[in-house]
């Protein structure tokens, strides 16, 4: 798909460029997190930034998730624009009090006085056999919370563009990044571009069925769609991107077009993002549906270590293909 208007880049490099640009453009912005500096970032996202911007702008912090997220909130209240990195989503639980009881709540409980223009970046998802305390997809926790803007970085375009957009938000943004994708190459526009963090995005058009997804699901759905296209099935892929507030309009509009939908996510099934999407569709587009809605989600198990079980614990392209064929009654192949 590469042409002169796009260029190839890894997901990691896209994230890094976004940081580099942010640090260059605004003195109020700084990055803080465990091992973001001297180590180069647990997953090498911030490698080289310390050297270029110095330790005031790229701050290594002690193991104190609640403390440094709280400090990020405080400095945001005072007019700075911190980017706080939480290495792995499991550790974010240590900072949940700060994220929810403070970051998401201060504006409200101060009657609109206290803004918290903070970006919290969190590495999540499976893919490296890191087992039951390092591999989760906890988008649903964040997406439940009023006051937060929750973004899921499911493509290279968003890896490159979402940070800048988030840093413009007066309200706290949680940006979920996917460790699994770091080394993956993808295309992004060659010219500078901005992304709109209020909208979902159709990543592929189709008329037979909608795949609604986000995060690690996006490329899996696109792959499935590609393969189904060869069988004459036209799948529309909607990347939710913004998990809170959800872009309901885009959801209802793809369903009104295809009349069938599967929601795909790596997160545990019960009380997940897919639940919410199904709920909205069944409330508001009930009469548009030609088939029951369907979810393909993570297995409800803390992630196991062995690769074959890890793979089995989230939906794969193959599973998506099977599910679509079944819904469309396309058993012939």
Ligand X SMILES: Cc1ncc(C[n+]2csc(CCOP(=O)(O)OP(=O)(O)O)c2C)c(N)n1
Residues labelled as active-site residues: 65, 134
Letter string b/e over residues 158-174, b meaning 16 or more CB atoms within 10 A of that residue's CB: bbbbbbbbbbebebbbb
* Interaction residues for its own copies, span 114-133 (CB under 8 A): 131-133
Where does 30-183 have alpha helices with state H?
Answer: 49-53, 65-77, 96, 106-109, 139-143, 156-167
Binding track over 19-38 against ligand X, x by CB under 6 A? ---------------x----
C-alpha separations of 172 from 75, 100, 180, 248 in Å: 12, 10, 25, 21
Interface with its own copies, residue 278, by CB under 8 A:
yes
Nearer to other proteins, 117 or 206 (CB): 117
To ligand X, the closest distance from the beta carbon of 125 in angstroms equals 16
**Contact between 124 and ligand X per CB under 6 A:** no
Tell me whether residue 78 is exposed, middle or buried, using C-beta atoms within 10 angstroms of its C-beta: 0 to 12, 13 to 18, 19 or more. Answer: exposed
Q: Where are the beta strands (DSSP E) in 11-65?
A: 29-33, 58-60
The only residue of 279, 307, 311, 326 in contact with its own copies, by rule CB under 8 A: 279
Q: Which of 45, 58, 87, 240 binds ligand X (CB under 6 A)?
A: 87
Peptide bond before residue 162 is cis, with ω within 30 degrees of 0? no
Binding to other proteins by CB under 8 A, coded x per residue (else -) over 276-305, reads -----------------------xxxx-xx
Q: Indicate the SS3 state at residue 26.
A: coil
- Interface residue with ligand X among 10, 26, 57, 91 (CB under 6 A) is 91
Residues 284-303 that bind its own copies (CB under 8 A): 284, 286-287, 289, 291-295, 300-302
322 φ, ψ (degrees, to nearest 5):
-60, -45
Find which of other proteins, its own copies, ligand X, none residue 284 binds, CB within 5 to 8 Å per kind: its own copies
Do 178 and 153 contact (CB within 8 A), yes or no?
yes
Residues in contact with its own copies by CB under 8 A are 66, 90-91, 93-94, 96-97, 100-101, 104-105, 108-109, 131-133, 140-141, 143-147, 244-246, 268, 270-276, 278-279, 281-284, 286-287, 289, 291-295, 300-302, 304
């Amino acid at each position: 798909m590469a042409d002169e208007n796009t260029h190839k880049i890894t997901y990691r490099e896209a994230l890094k460029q976004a940081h580099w640009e942010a640090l260059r453009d605004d003195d109020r912005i700084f990055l803080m997190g465990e091992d973001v500096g001297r180590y180069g970032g647990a997953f090498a996202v911030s490698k080289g930034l310390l050297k270029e911007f110095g330790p005031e702008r790229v701050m290594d912090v002690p193991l104190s998730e609640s403390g440094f997220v709280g400090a990020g909130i405080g400095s945001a209240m005072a007019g700075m624009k911190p980017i706080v990195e939480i290495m792995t989503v499991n550790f974010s639980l240590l900072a949940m009090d700060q994220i929810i009881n403070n970051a998401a709540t201060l504006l409200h409980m101060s009657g609109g006085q206290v803004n918290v223009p903070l970006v919290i970046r969190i590495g999540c998802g499976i893919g490296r056999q890191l087992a039951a305390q390092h591999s989760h997809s906890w988008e649903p926790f964040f997406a439940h919370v009023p006051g937060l803007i929750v973004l899921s970085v499911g493509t290279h375009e968003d890896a490159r563009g979402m940070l800048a957009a988030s840093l413009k938000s007066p309200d706290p943004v949680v940006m979920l990044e996917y460790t699994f994708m770091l080394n993956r190459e993808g295309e992004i526009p060659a010219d500078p571009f901005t992304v709109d963090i209020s909208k979902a995005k159709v990543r592929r058009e189709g008329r037979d069925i909608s795949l609604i997804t986000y995060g690690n699901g996006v490329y899996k759905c696109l792959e499935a769609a590609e393969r189904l296209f060869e069988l004459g099935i036209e799948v529309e892929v909607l990347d939710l991107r913004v998990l809170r507030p959800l872009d309901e309009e885009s959801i209802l509009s793809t369903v009104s077009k295809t009349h069938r939908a599967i929601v795909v996510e790596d997160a545990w099934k019960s009380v997940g993002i897919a639940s919410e999407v199904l709920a909205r569709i069944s409330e508001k587009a009930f009469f548009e549906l030609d088939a029951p809605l369907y979810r393909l989600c993570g297995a409800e198990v803390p992630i196991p270590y062995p690769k074959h079980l890890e793979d089995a614990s989230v939906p794969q392209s193959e599973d998506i293909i099977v599910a679509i064929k079944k819904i469309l009654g396309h058993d012939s192949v």
